[in-house]
Amino acid sequence: MINPSPLMRLVAGVWGFKTLAVGVEFGLFTRLAGGRTITVAEAAAEFGLDERPADLLLAASASLGLLERAGDGYRNTELAEQFLVEGRPYYFGAQVRYSDLRTYLPWHRIADALRTNRPLTWDPQSQQSLFDTVDPEMVAQFWDAMFSTSSFTARALADTYDFGAHTRLLDVGGGAGAFPIELCRRLPQLRATILDLPHVCAKAQERIAAEGLADRIGTVAGDFLADPALPGGHDVVLLSMILHDWDEPTNRALLAKCHAALPPGGAVVICELLLDDDRTGPPEAALMGMNMLVETEGGKNYSGAEYAAWLADAGFVDIERLTFDAPGANGAVVARRA
């Protein structure tokens, strides 16, 4: 018999997110790094809590698969140990923090966004973009969140698509450089260029230098929407988590620039949370589309079939869809310039 339990699980979804977010805020998982176990009494003392809330936090975190029982206490699961401990290569806590501090409250007004077709995290009438703000901390949080989400996504893409045939990568809107850093670590023959706004390039250069890759990854300051052409000299162009920010005409224009910038045989790789062709899921892609309503003026998530059609219209051939599982994307659409 059908029952409303699935609806209750949707209701409780926000409880799960906020439990995760407060665990990251408290540094719970970082404190338990390396196999440390903590009891309820120890957690109460360490976080300045009464034992009741400490007990509830640990139990709830365990129910979400973030902690597990170990004797009289709790310890990190492998998931938390790998992705919620600060300093780990694929630390995801920055995305949790950004979502909690920046997008959670605007989502409470999602009906306003639906009725007005306007973003909620910034005002297009007074700001040129999401980044036109006097709050540098928010901008820093955004780029940390994007790096957090992109690092493991880059790993999943590299496991699925063979970049070994390429020698020069152009990462359009590459942010702080998560994809080029991951790919260049793996592929000694690869050199990369990040095209992004000047202040973003400065942040990318810091990350690249910290990884010891300044001799292989460069930056070009520019605006990939406003500039008439993309930098040449590359045999693969990456558009990762870029096209969902914009409407169809903008994306078609950008794909035309990609085609013009590539040599014959060069490839374009669109890495995104792809909707099913019938636009019924998966939830990760469909809900990210709703988030684009909150965060952008014209963005939405698209299906693999839509990207394939745009690529074909731009003159690309050998169009292929690849699938994988990562926080920032569930697949890629790859095509080649004839």
Paired residues of 238 in beta bridges: 171, 269
- Locate all alpha helices (DSSP H) within the chain, ordered by sequence: 5-26, 28-31, 40-47, 51-63, 78-83, 93-98, 104-107, 110-116, 136-160, 178-186, 198-210, 248-261, 283-295, 304-313
The one-letter amino acid at 219: T
Give just the sign of the alpha carbon dihedral 174, 177, 182, 186. Answer: positive
Which of 307, 314, 271, 273 lies closest to 290 in space, CA to CA?
273
CA–CA separation, 231 vs 300, rounded Å? 26
CA–CA separation, 290 vs 286, rounded Å? 7
Token pair listed for 335? 């095509």
Distances, alpha carbon 215 to alpha carbons 151, 182, 208, 279, 316, in Å: 20, 15, 9, 43, 32
- 3-state helix/strand/coil string of 112-163: HHHHHCCCCCCCCCCCCCCCCCCCHHHHHHHHHHHHHHHHHHHHHHHHHCCH
Estimate to the nearest angstrom the gap between the alpha carbon of 200 and the chain centroid.
16
Strands 316-323 and 331-337: antiparallel
Q: Which of the following is catalytic: 108, 166, 234, 244?
A: 244
244 is catalytic: yes
> Do residues 133 and 311 lie in contact, with contact meaning Cβ atoms separated by under 8 Å?
no
Round the CA-based radius of gyration of the chain to a whole number and report it. Answer: 21
Q: Any idea which residues carry the catalytic annotation? A: 244
